[in-house]
Amino acid sequence: MEKTAIVPDELESFYSDWKMSPGLACGDFLFLTGFTGADADGTLSTDPEKQMRNAFRKIGLVLEEAGLDYSALVEMTTYHVGLRDHLALFKSVRADYVREPYPAWTAIEVAGFVREGTVIEIKAVACRRPSSS
């Protein structure tokens, strides 16, 4: 099966430096790498909400590059430092992005990430086939 890397300009370093595709289109699906909440310039806010919104923004960049939007999401796994502390906030932020029918979702507490101070990473799968409504 043919696979195509989806690499928005802002996320090109993921592909060149880390050797991973921000998104990988395969068949009817687009698999997105896990995104943390650093700004485009690499700055990491201490504000959990800003980190969450930045992670969703990166997901949006990949979706847009693939000709999709947030309504294409079918599955999401989120990794959290301080899950219980931030769950209500994350649910509120997430509600600004996901669309009905809502994607499947799993939230997992983790001990930490590569970069100190990171509180969230979001991994997702989108369907590239138009819905038949």
CA distance 105 to 124: 9
pLDDT digits (tens, 9 = 90+) for 60-101: 999 999 999 999 999 999 999 999 999 999 999 999 999 999
- The model's pTM is 0.94
DSSP 97: T
Percent of the chain whose predicted confidence (pLDDT) is above 90: 93
Confidence of residue 131 (pLDDT cuts 50, 70, 90): low
Please determine, looking at this structure, whether the domain spanning 3-127 carries the CATH number 3.40.640.10: no
Q: What is the pLDDT of residue 90?
A: 98
> Where on the phi/psi map is residue 19: left (φ > 0), alpha (ψ -120 to 50), or beta?
left
